[in-house]
Amino acid sequence: MADLSKYAFISKLKALPFVDEIWLFGSRARGDHAERSDIDLAIICPRANESDWHQVLEIIENADTLLKIDCLQFDRLNDDDKLKMNILQFKKILYQRGES
């Protein structure tokens, strides 16, 4: 897995008070990605309102990378969603509030 902590957009997401966790999923989490593969992020933010989520999307839109970033609000996925199950199986935790 590439070190995503070098990107400023990750630091900006971590600084948002309503973001509890940031998970990497998809090919980069599994380790079978190509050099130009997109970055798939699941943001855990159960207390976020629409305005808060807009801040997340703005940070992603202005990210300091040319790679495509797919970002989703994990808390809004249904429990029986296959994507949710896949994320839970292969996720790599990039950030947890309260952890260094």
What pLDDT, on the 0 to 100 scale, is given for residue 3? Answer: 75
The pTM (predicted TM-score) of the whole model is 0.91
Using an 8 Å Cβ cutoff, are 91 and 24 in contact? Answer: yes
Instruction: Map out the domains of the chain with their CATH numbers.
Output: 4-95 (3.30.460.10)
Cα 45 from Cα 42, distance rounded (Å):
10
pLDDT at residue 17 greater than cutoff 50: yes
- Burial of residue 64 (number of CB atoms within 10 Å: 0-12, 13-18, 19+): exposed
Q: To which H or E segment does residue 21 belong?
A: strand 21-25
Segment 39-67 shows an average pLDDT of 97
Segment 38-52 shows an average pLDDT of 97
What pLDDT, on the 0 to 100 scale, is given for residue 1? Answer: 43
